[in-house]
Chain A
Amino acid sequence: ETGVTQTPRHLVMGMTNKKSLKCEQHLGHNAMYWYKQSAKKPLELMFVYSLEERVENNSVPSRFSPECPNSSHLFLHLHTLQPEDSALYLCASSHQGYEQFFGPGTRLTVL
């Protein structure tokens, strides 16, 4: 069984849509992360949750809204996105400070 799963794997949405990305980890970790990976750009850390509390928000626009209802689940709620938000969104989990294990990512296209 894959340690970190993400759904959906692919998502196409219009700029006025509202959608959510889901991440689930089965590794017993206490921290979860959202990253954005755009073409030819470094990985950008968006949000960090440690013990279900948000500990970092790297100046991410408010059209991205994370939610961590428990230590195994992480959501990224999307609304009124822009075309430049098209990217691969990766979820990861870890024990704080140790190696992160990544999900397969959601390839998002905003039309």
Chain B
Amino acid sequence: KQEVTQIPAALSVPEGENLVLNCSFTDSAIYNLQWFRQDPGKGLTSLLLIQSSQREQTSGRLNASLDKSSGRSTLYIAASQPGDSATYLCAVRANTGTASKLTFGTGTRLQVTL
């Protein structure tokens, strides 16, 4: 059974810092990995999707990497801003079985302070 872990569970940084969020998964047979942000009381906003054949994806100040063989992904946020404060979730899609369901990590709650 796929298990997804995110470390740290919570993080507080001053504005302007670069930061890295970590995601690890136990079964490397994944189809893709997706990073989301969730604001309090809101749904999920998709940030980046990395296919299993890719090593990284970039969108603006965000860069996500994937090392499938070691079961790890990182989300790098450059020059953090207070508006980045949210919970960040990673989710993996299996390559077999229920191929389309996502298995989620428990999230990292990020606070960017002024």
A, B in one complex: no
